[in-house]
């Protein structure tokens, strides 16, 4: 390396010291000399480290490796080289120049902190928040839950139709009576905590949902694709199961806690919101799969008490499987358990039933099918 001019900062004061840098006679160290230095400095090549600047290539800043209090494990002195020849020489002969010197115990520290953070998060997501949601869902007064449920239904109406509840609700009088007859028959032999208020939304989606406080909504698409009223009754019974076990309320409470937590966990990087939504989906899927199974059992019992055949339920699940079965979404992403298994469970149950009759009459079924016309 040729002798070259540079600027030196001694790391003790903010004064700039012009210096001359050269390779020592033993070729093992840089010699730094200048009028501003009390004595010439010898920087061993093996200890030399360059500062990362991530792209700024007009200069190279050198320092020395040093264990201690310094946050970078570097000496505080800095040597600024702008000479391109000297820079090239350093970069080619010193492969360790930009090496990271990770302090001892770093991995242990990372493991410890990660463990603590993961532990706290898991404890919150899977123990504390669900337990709190259970407790709170049990002590909320029913009339508040009903009011909350109405707000939820209104919001869903806005999402699906961009309109208010009344505009999206099908108003056919005969159809509404038929739906009520169906609900009455399902609930009359049942110990009910909630009064079920059911409605049909004029929307082509094959779906139904239960909002907190007894609000059950069936989409028109589900009625259209059903072959018999028993299939709709099975879905209704399933949703009533959700209502009675307060699943929607519990889920809303739980996700109010966990959604905030997940967003925080994933942080403010670009695309973080997408990740947070996916995370919340996965999380709620793991809860709802359990709740779905319980709602199925509740529905079977309800059908049994109402003397309605569970065959409708089996047929409906098979229909779902035919329509959506080929979508290759992994089962754990879907909020519903594998439908063929559920169909089989309903089919087995139906075989044990006797003296069943269609849930509503043929003419009532026809009115229900025309509820939105």
The residues in 67-106 that bind another protein, with binding defined as CB under 8 A, are: 69-72, 76-78, 80, 82, 106
- The SS3 assignment for 164 reads coil
Q: Looking only at residues 152 through 171 of this chain, which bind another protein when binding is defined by CB under 8 A?
A: 154
Q: Of 49-57, 201-209, 311-319, 349-357, which part binds another protein (CB under 8 A)? A: 49-57
How many residues lie near another protein (CB under 8 A)?
Answer: 79
* String of DSSP letters for 207-233: -EEEETTTEEEEEHHHHHH-SSHHHHH
* Structure-token pair, residue 364: 């009532």
Q: Does 35 sit near another protein (CB under 8 A)? A: no
Q: Does 132 sit near another protein (CB under 8 A)? A: yes
d(CA 151, CA 16): 68
* Contact by Cβ (8 Å): 291, 245: yes
- H or E element, residue 19: strand 17-23
Which CB, 27 or 57, lies closer to another protein? 57
User: Which residue do the tokens 């269609």 mark?
Assistant: 358
Q: Which long-range contacts (CB under 8 A, 24 or more apart) does 286-290 make?
A: 286/332, 287/130, 287/251, 287/254, 288/247, 288/251, 288/335, 288/336, 289/335, 289/336, 289/337
Which CB, 232 or 253, lies closer to another protein? 253
Q: Does 136 sit near another protein (CB under 8 A)? A: yes
Which CB, 328 or 355, lies closer to another protein? 328
Q: Does 128 sit near another protein (CB under 8 A)? A: yes
One of 162, 269, 354, 355 touching another protein (CB under 8 A): 269
Q: Does 323 sit near another protein (CB under 8 A)? A: no
Q: Does 116 sit near another protein (CB under 8 A)? A: yes
Q: Does 275 sit near another protein (CB under 8 A)? A: yes
Q: Does 286 sit near another protein (CB under 8 A)? A: no
CA distances 203 to 177, 217, 354, Å, are 20, 11, 35
Q: Looking only at residues 168 through 197 of this chain, which bind another protein when binding is defined by CB under 8 A?
A: none
Q: In what order do the strands lie in the sheet with 197-201?
A: 197-201, 215-219, 208-211
Q: Does 6 sit near another protein (CB under 8 A)? A: yes
Q: Does 258 sit near another protein (CB under 8 A)? A: yes
């Amino acid at each position: 390396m040729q002798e070259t001019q540079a600027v030196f900062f001694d790391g003790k004061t903010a004064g700039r010291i012009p210096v001359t840098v050269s390779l020592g006679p033993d070729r093992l160290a840089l010699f730094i000399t200048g009028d501003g230095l009390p004595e010439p400095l010898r920087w061993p090549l093996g200890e030399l480290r360059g500062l990362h600047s991530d792209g700024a290539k007009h200069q190279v800043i050198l320092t020395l490796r040093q264990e201690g209090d310094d946050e970078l494990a570097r000496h505080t002195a800095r040597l600024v080289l702008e000479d391109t020849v000297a820079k090239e020489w350093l970069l080619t002969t010193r492969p360790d120049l930009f090496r990271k010197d990770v302090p001892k115990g770093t991995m242990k520290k990372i493991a410890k902190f990660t463990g603590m953070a993961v532990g706290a998060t898991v404890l919150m997501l899977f123990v504390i928040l669900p337990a709190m949601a259970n407790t709170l869902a049990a002590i909320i007064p029913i009339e508040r839950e009903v009011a909350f449920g109405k707000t939820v239904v209104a919001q869903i109406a806005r999402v699906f139709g961009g309109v208010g509840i009344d505009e999206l609700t099908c108003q056919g009088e005969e159809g509404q009576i038929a739906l009520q007859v169906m609900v009455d028959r399902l609930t009359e032999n049942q110990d009910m905590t909630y009064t079920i208020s059911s409605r049909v939304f004029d929307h082509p989606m094959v779906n139904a949902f239960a909002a907190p406080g007894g609000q059950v909504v069936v989409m028109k698409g589900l009625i259209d694709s059903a072959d018999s009223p028993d299939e709709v009754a099975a879905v209704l019974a399933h949703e009533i199961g959700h209502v009675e076990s307060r699943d929607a309320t519990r889920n809303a409470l739980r996700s109010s806690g966990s959604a905030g937590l997940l967003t925080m966990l994933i942080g403010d990087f670009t695309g973080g919101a997408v990740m947070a939504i996916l995370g919340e989906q996965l999380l709620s899927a793991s809860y709802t799969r359990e709740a779905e199974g319980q709602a199925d059992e509740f529905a079977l019992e309800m059908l049994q008490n109402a003397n309605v055949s569970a065959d409708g339920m089996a047929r409906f699940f098979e229909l779902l499987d035919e329509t959506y079965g080929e979508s290759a979404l992994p089962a754990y992403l879907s909020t519903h358990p594998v439908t063929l298994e559920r169909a089989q469970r309903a089919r087995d149950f139906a075989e044990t039933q006797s003296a069943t009759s269609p849930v509503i009459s043929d003419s009532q079924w026809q009115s229900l099918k025309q509820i939105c016309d």
